[in-house]
Structure 1
Amino acid sequence: MTPVSYLLDISRLLARADYAVPTGIDRVELSYAQYLLTHKREQSYFCAMHPVGIAGGIPTPLAEEMIEALAAKWGGSTVSTSASRLKRKIRRKILYSPLPKKPRIVHILVSHHHLTRPRVIRNILKRTGAKFVPILHDLIPLEYPEYARPGEPARHAVRVQTILDYAAGIIFPSHAVRDAFMPYMEKHSRQIPVGLVPLGVNVKKEEDLLPPTLACPSRPYFVCLSTIEPRKNHLLLLQAWRRLAEQLGDRAPVLVVIGKRGWENENIVDLLDRCPSLKGHVLEYNELPDQDVIHLLKNCRALLFPTFSEGFGLPLAEAFSFGVPVLCSDIPVLREVGAGIADYLDPLDGPAWIEAILDYTTNSARRRDQIQRINYWKPFTWESSIVGTLDSVCEFKLFN
């Protein structure tokens, strides 16, 4: 029997090639591309959508060059190959490059890129004869429109409809997302096979990392790792830190905020930029290479994750992979991903967060107990995650 082939869409990687640091979804798409090149090279093909709305194939050597350049750039290396130059070269090529047409081929879309353009998806499937298997990371714009950019709920509704119209199978990163999606299938009388595959983490050894370029704060410190936007609830942490700074002065712990500034965040930015009480107590880094993020994370008292909603919660898994305790919101998806190991707090209960932060500033029993619990947590690597997706594709029985 002819083996299944895989057509991976790397449109998001192209769109993000000019950025200094990746987002969580960027890392997902990059990890899939690296795995397929390493383990399924003869069965793997790559494609992308040009901004004008035309999709085309990417020769494997060129895709590999781009993926290696991005991995090096986002890993903090000085690279001779320009990811931006490769992006331009690939975009010129895909305007004229054919898509592969194989008897048993699956089109995998790891990001939500161009799900708002159903004609592009339909055109790819028509030209390749492929079965479409996307990953749906969350339904947050529909469940919590107050945390989305203007117009995003309507765009996400189109993404959901595109999946309902064209998907032959769907991968979800958590029970929470799968359960939220099931009513949409029922409403549209669709029975699409689904797979539940947690996202992976990069478990890096010390010797594999470049040396860090910055030092950790001299005082005990905590890390918040996420895009600065209302849904992530940075406001709770900044208000807590203002209280800690006013009460403890130079004895207060330090808050290290790592993440790019997002949208609808004026109140948060006002505090970061102009609040006198936070000066010297809150450090903000918008673009850090991996080795610096890991260095700060591994040496902090705890990761703080007071988010209101998530599709998975990758920072929690990344912290646990380094043995770092986590204080996070008590929401179902984080209990699922964290296996009940983290310390869970109401994302609106400021006094409870201050109490927990003070506990974790010292070598308290509360902190020691969580570190012991983390020893029982087993990281889900990217290899096991991607193998899980490919196994689900087989279980979907997409071909006769």
Structure 2
Amino acid sequence: MSSELLLDVTRLVARSWTKRSATGIDRVCEAYGSHFRERARAVVQHRGVVKVLSRRDSDKLFEMLLQPGESFRSKVLRFAPLALARSPSRIDGNGMLYINPSHTDFDLPTHHEWVAKSNLRSVYFLHDLIPLTHPRLTSAHAVKRHLGRVRGLLRHGYGAIVNTRATMVELTKFASKRRLGLPPVTVAPLAGAELQRASASASNRAAPCINDEAEPYFLAIGTIEQRKNYGMLLRVWERMASEYGASCPKLIIVGQEGPQSSAIFETYRAKPELSRFVRFETGARDGDVANLLEGARALLMPTHAEGYGLPVVEALQHRTPVIANNIPSFQEIGQGIPMLLDVEDEGAWKRAIGRFAFTDHERDRQINMMGHFVPPTWQNHFAIIDPWLESLANDEQVAIKRMQVEC
């Protein structure tokens, strides 16, 4: 695919500015920026205000975003005022594709008005429907916004990208239940990060202070929030500490603090004995995670819901066994390797962790199967996406169907 398109980089700008650790959605935005930078004009938006950068300014912005460095803020402050001032809010796209690889603002009616008035064909990456399928795990505001995103995609989108068949099933159910049309949907699995070990001098927090032969430890990765179900792991470790005493294996939870994380930390602090065996790493870098994965007895993923689950892919790439919740996305991406358990059965989790801490045939089975794991790659992802986008750009029947839906 070589024709020009528009790529929304709003989330990339925000993450580079705040310097926060990358989430799964952030990694997708980075991959889309890298792949499309040679043919894309950058779009930035904020609550209905949209700017479309020229190709020249887009090239400069992509360069800054994909290699942010310590001077990113000063570069943006010099670049943005003039670039935004000369960037139109609306263009005549003549049916050009607009790709939004994050969840940025397509819940807003003003966003879809901009798409229509700019004569664009919008393609949205829907990473999950979790706020709608599991509303108790998030806030009412998050549910409302995600409902707007999914409705907006179904009513106005020319196409939808999803990461698993499980997400496509949920989207299809939602559309059918509400009698909304479904635009063309493609499933393109996500590549895990190529995590490189940090040197001992670069990392004094993570793997260098753990000897996995003397101290077996387990790893949990993901934003510290209610949905990840870390409270269950804390309960399991409390029971294990009581049963195993000083020989209890360790648990390292890696992730930045997210919504409702305070309740998890309160539970942790209320049980002082847990500090001997459980620790949180809220500032770990990719190299630290690579070190930790290589020595862990297993990655633990008791999350209640996931659209994909990049840590599972990354653990399997590092030949690290996985114990995870038995949910459709993990069944799909795990390729039959992880041990999948019901998170309602905490006893089963305790028994599995206890066995994995030492020698266990199930852990050996996983290690023996690692050679059969086929990790998703970005090359394969875009081998699916590029021809599909080309078909959307050239298919007038899609345009006619979308016009009928909107009318």
By the TM > 0.5 criterion, same fold?
A: yes
1:46 is aligned, of 24, 27, 42, to 42
Q: What secondary structure sits across from 1:203 in the alignment?
A: coil
Partner of 2:167: 177
Sort the Cα spacing of 1:10 and 1:102 in 2 relative to 1 into closer, same or farther, 3 A.
same
Q: Does the residue aligned with 1:55 lie in a helix, a strand or coil?
A: strand
Alignment deviations for residues 113-146 of structure 1 (CA, whole Å, 9 cap, x no partner): 111223124314532x321111111111111110
Amino acid at match of 1:193: P
Tell me, yes or no, if the aligned pair for 2:48 and 2:110 is still in contact at 8 Å: no
Per-residue Cα deviation, 1:282-323 (whole angstroms, up to 9, x for no partner):
111112211111111222111000011111111111111111
2:286 maps to 290
C-alpha displacement of 1:60: 2.6
CA shift in 2, pair 1:347/1:86, >3 Å: farther
The whole-number CA distance in structure 1 between the counterparts of 2:28 and 2:196 is 20
Measure, in 2, the Cα distance between the counterparts of 1:120 and 1:95: 20
Aligned counterpart, 1:27: 27
User: Structure 1 residues 137 and 208 mapped into 2: Cα distance closer, same or farther (>3 Å)?
Assistant: farther
Distance in 2 separating the partners of 1:249 and 1:96: 66
Cα gap change, 1:278/1:26 in structure 2, threshold over 3 Å: closer, same or farther?
Answer: same
TM-score w.r.t. length of structure 2: 0.87
Given that residues 306 and 347 in structure 1 are in contact (C-alpha distance below 8 angstroms), is that contact kept between their aligned partners in structure 2?
A: yes
The match for 2:59 is: 61
- Aligned mates of 2:239, 2:195 — CA distance in 1: 36
Q: Give the equivalent residue in structure 2 for 1:217.
A: 210
| 2-structure distance, mates of 1:48, 1:14 | 8
1:110 is aligned, of 101, 105, 113, to 101
Distance in 1, matches of 2:67 and 2:42, equals: 16
Q: Which moved more, 1:326-335 or 1:54-63?
A: 54-63
Deviation at 1:44, TM superposition (A): 2.0
AA in 1 matched with 2:15:
R
After superposition, where does 1:1-400 map in structure 2 within 5 Å? 3-17=2-16, 18-37=18-37, 41=38, 43-50=39-46, 53-57=49-53, 59-70=57-68, 79-82=69-72, 84-89=73-78, 91-92=80-81, 93-98=83-88, 103=94, 105-127=96-118, 129-186=119-176, 187-204=178-195, 211-214=202-205, 215-218=208-211, 219-396=215-392, 398-400=394-396
Change (3 A) 1:299 1:216: farther
CA distance in structure 2 between the aligned counterparts of 1:46 and 1:209, rounded to whole angstroms: 39
Contact 1:7 1:44 in 2 (8 A): yes
Listed one character per residue, the Cα deviations across residues 252-310 of structure 1 (whole Å, up to 9, x for unaligned) are: 11100011222234431112233211112111111221111111122211100001111
- Preserved CA contact (<8 Å) 1:10 1:29: yes
CA distance in 1: counterparts of 2:165 and 2:12, whole angstroms: 27
Which residue number corresponds to residue 76 of structure 1? Answer: none
Deviation of the 1:153 alpha carbon = 1.3
SS where residue 257 of structure 1 aligns?
strand
After superposition, the Cα gap between the structure-2 partners of 1:155 and 1:15, relative to the gap in structure 1 and judged at 3 Å, is same
Name the SS for the 1:151 alignment partner: helix
* Alpha carbons 1:5, 1:104 under 8 Å: kept: no
Aligned to 2:402: none
Aligned length: 385
Contact 2:229 2:304 in 1 (8 A): yes
User: Is the alpha carbon distance of 1:125 and 1:375 closer, same or farther for their aligned partners in structure 2, counting shifts above 3 Å?
Assistant: farther
| Greater mean deviation of Cα atoms: 381-390 or 360-369 | 381-390
Q: Which runs of 5+ in 2 are unaligned?
A: 397-407
Q: Mark the CA change 1:358 to 1:115 in structure 2 (over 3 Å): closer, same or farther.
A: same
Query: Percentage identity across aligned positions?
Result: 28
SS of the residue 2:42 aligns to: strand
Secondary structure at the counterpart of residue 324 of structure 1: coil
| Superposition RMSD in Å | 2.5
Query: Please, which runs of 5 or more residues in structure 1 have no aligned partner?
Result: 71-78
Asked if the contact 1:329–1:347 (Cα under 8 Å) also holds between the matched residues in 2, the reply is yes
Provide closer, same or farther for how the CA distance between residues 49 and 240 of structure 1 changes in structure 2, counting only shifts above 3 A.
Answer: same
Aligned residue type for 2:3: V
In structure 1, C-alpha distance between the alignment counterparts of 2:230 and 2:130, rounded to whole Å: 18
Retained in 1: the 8 A contact 2:107–2:146?
Answer: yes
Is the 8 Å Cα contact of residues 43 and 51 (structure 2) preserved in structure 1? Answer: yes
Q: Secondary structure at the match of 1:308?
A: coil
Distance change (3 Å), C-alpha of 1:330 and 1:271: same
Structure 2 CA distance for partners of 1:31 and 1:89, relative to 1, 3 Å: farther
Give the stretch that moved more between structures: 48-57 or 378-387: 48-57
